[in-house]
Chain A
């Protein structure tokens, strides 16, 4: 019911494509774009790919793109195209520019570097050495594949991200786009599609890991004439941006999957509920929907099969809880995003009370690939109960911040050290948080846990939607728990008592502990609240809100006790109870700490050993990281 921006680029008839025409685009465009995926492509063309994910866009990649185009036009260079793409994944190195077919990787490019890249790389045929990407070990990488970051990855959901221009439907079609839909509509029955998805072993990527095929089957079998397909793109987990990257880099993959889902369950209307805070994703989705409508791939009588399906975008308005499926439905209906009690599940009683299939973006992004390559291909990837790959947004205290897609079963150690390049500043790995505020932390001793639904659960964490935050030893786990509780308290919808008041009480206790005003009884109270909030809350947000506390208590109980009893914070993060001191045995009197101290709290001159004036010290921790001799601590 939202108005459509349906303005077609020409008259409807001109644009609408027959199946033959789409086949033709696929063949011809694929040939034209071979250089994108084939370093030995037989072509004189060059494509300059400029990442336009949100990260790179914030560091001026649109300006870079414009500069390239301007220079190419000015210099009248032929056979070079500048393409905007979705996220390459290695956000830490952004803005990223890749030149194909040779696959040269330029990192941290600035708009003013364009001239040099054109001159040296394009015209002279040499590489711009200073802009080449370097790996953690300082080694220059010649191409993307050489990077350790990419070596252990397997890209299925992100297959097209960074390869195609997300704003050109032809490029999607070139890489077998909408082929799966065509096959499904022309060759498969509804049950056959559902069977393939079931056989593939795909599970929901939104966090809970419910088997996708089973969800489709339940919705298909639910009674009701009118059914809906919904895409949950309300990615709200702080520090997670997997779904956004897919929507920005490959929006058609989601549309295609929703159509396949619609066919399978008997729905002909879909909604994508996406955060309004993702303007680029929203824009690209709208472009994709318009293009698909123009081509006749969305709308009435798709591919002449008599199947109708249309998709509308609904914008979220800044409520984390709307990522919970029933809250999301309420929000689509125009109400406060307050979850409903389940059961009944959306499969039976969803949007406007009708059977509704809700999957998350990443789940959808796997669908077409499963149809095209078969369920056996997919189920061969991953572990026994967790098939396929999982995309993670790797962040925090890790060198290679970015988006990674790994086969299920990859260990945390591989992700942190091989892909992520380890912990910066020579610090120690302390813990990783998966699942954001709904998940839990994984300590050092579980670094070798394979990442899959069951393993993570067994160690008190959860897969979550894919946020993976790495923490080094300067992080206080009590503070971390407090941080996540702050988040849930401010995002709690307020509907049910345990979440509304209970999480607030948990936060208050954590604040007391961090301020050194707590006692042992508070730890007991925290646990009692946590257990009961988990069990008694209405929705996933409340039920999982205590998870960060429960898991930090499980692995870092000593730190809680130190805060409660000794009033100490070993990570020195809790300012009111941390005293930073310089170990005079280790201090060499270099004075670096003094130079960096923002409040001039460090005293001493020349080669003298330095001393911290506790009255002046604001415990910011700057000196800790600046000391080359690790002489500063508690």
Chain B
């Protein structure tokens, strides 16, 4: 799978980690904050970053891996170019967001948490994104699509597949 390019234009992974090590003290309770930064920067938590964190914070890798796999925000694989998240919060669920998710799975033939072969899409279930007034909602790379229907989802997917717009 193609790795997501670093968005900050830094030349290599180490530069970002180096920066992180300057900013944080090597104490264990910084682990989750640092993982959040790694996740945000790379779009996932690469194994070598876990190793570097293990050395820096003096925490065994198994424990770090345990933390990474515990919190759903952290992922071990790069997300797709377009990450589609369907809100399955109660407000959206009651308004039928499960149908949106089912359609998404059907169209992209992947399960939540997975990325399509071509790296174009990944999908995830998300809890309340706070747009309950627009329920049901899904987001594409963070942008909210409210009052969603299966038809609307299809349109968005078609648009991406045909035109690959910048979202």
Which of A55, A241, A331 touches B32 (beta carbons < 8 Å)? A331
Q: Is there an interface contact between A1 and B32, defined as CB atoms closer than 8 Å? A: no
Q: Is there an interface contact between B128 and A241, defined as CB atoms closer than 8 Å? A: yes
Stretch of A76-84, A194-202, A219-227, A394-402 contacting B (4+ beta carbons < 8 Å): A394-402
Which of B90, B126, B144 touches A433 (beta carbons < 8 Å)? B90
- Give the interface residue-count category, chain B: 35 or more
Residues in B neighbouring A420, C-beta threshold 8 A: none
Which of A2, A3, A277, A598 touches B127 (beta carbons < 8 Å)? A277
Decide if the interface of chain A is mainly helix, strand, loop or mixed. Answer: loop
Q: With A59-B134, A94-B133, A436-B90 known to touch, is A317 a contact of B30 (CB < 8 Å)?
A: no
Residues in A neighbouring B67, C-beta threshold 8 A: 334-336
Q: Is there an interface contact between A58 and B129, defined as CB atoms closer than 8 Å? A: yes
Q: With A336-B66, A396-B90, A469-B91 known to touch, is A58 a contact of B32 (CB < 8 Å)?
A: no
List B136-167 residues whose CB lies under 8 Å from chain A: 137, 143-144, 146, 150
List the A residue with the shortest CB-CB distance to B125: A490
- Give the interface residue-count category, chain A: 35 or more
Judged by a CB distance under 8 angstroms, whether A467 is at the interface is yes
Q: Is there an interface contact between A54 and B131, defined as CB atoms closer than 8 Å? A: yes
Judged by a CB distance under 8 angstroms, whether B86 is at the interface is no
Bound CA span A316–B29, Å: 12
Interface string of B80-123 (1 = CB under 8 A from A): 00000000111111110001000000000000000000000000
Judged by a CB distance under 8 angstroms, whether B74 is at the interface is yes
CB distance from A623 to the nearest CB of B (A): 14
CB distance from A118 to the nearest CB of B (A): 25
Judged by a CB distance under 8 angstroms, whether A91 is at the interface is yes
List the B residue with the shortest CB-CB distance to A483: B93
Which of B29, B57, B128, B144 touches A239 (beta carbons < 8 Å)? B128
Judged by a CB distance under 8 angstroms, whether A590 is at the interface is no
Interface string of A367-409 (1 = CB under 8 A from B): 0000000000000000000000000010111000110000000
Residues in A neighbouring B60, C-beta threshold 8 A: none
Which of A3, A238, A317 touches B74 (beta carbons < 8 Å)? A317
Q: With A58-B146, A276-B73 known to touch, is A239 a contact of B91 (CB < 8 Å)?
A: yes
CB distance from A472 to the nearest CB of B (A): 9
Judged by a CB distance under 8 angstroms, whether A582 is at the interface is no
Judged by a CB distance under 8 angstroms, whether B54 is at the interface is no
Q: With A58-B146, A395-B91 known to touch, is A317 a contact of B132 (CB < 8 Å)?
A: no
Residues in A neighbouring B66, C-beta threshold 8 A: 336
Q: With A1-B27, A238-B90, A336-B67 known to touch, is A395 a contact of B32 (CB < 8 Å)?
A: no
CB distance from A595 to the nearest CB of B (A): 14
List the B residue with the shortest CB-CB distance to A475: B94
Residues in B neighbouring A277, C-beta threshold 8 A: 73, 126-127, 129
Residues in A neighbouring B24, C-beta threshold 8 A: 1-3
Residues in A neighbouring B91, C-beta threshold 8 A: 238-239, 393, 395-396, 401, 469
Interface string of A1-22 (1 = CB under 8 A from B): 1110000000000000000000
List B11-28 residues whose CB lies under 8 Å from chain A: 23-25, 27-28
Judged by a CB distance under 8 angstroms, whether A236 is at the interface is yes
Residues in A neighbouring B57, C-beta threshold 8 A: 334
List the B residue with the shortest CB-CB distance to A241: B130
Further 20 A-B residue pairs, CB within 8 A, beyond A58-B143, A91-B132, A317-B73: A54-B131, A55-B131, A58-B130, A91-B131, A94-B134, A238-B88, A238-B127, A239-B132, A333-B29, A334-B28, A334-B30, A334-B57, A337-B71, A395-B90, A395-B135, A402-B133, A433-B90, A436-B90, A469-B91, A471-B94
Chain A contacts to B: CB under 8 angstroms: 1-3, 53-55, 58-59, 90-94, 236-241, 244, 276-278, 314-320, 331-337, 393, 395-397, 401-402, 433, 436, 467, 469-471, 475, 483, 487, 493, 598, 620
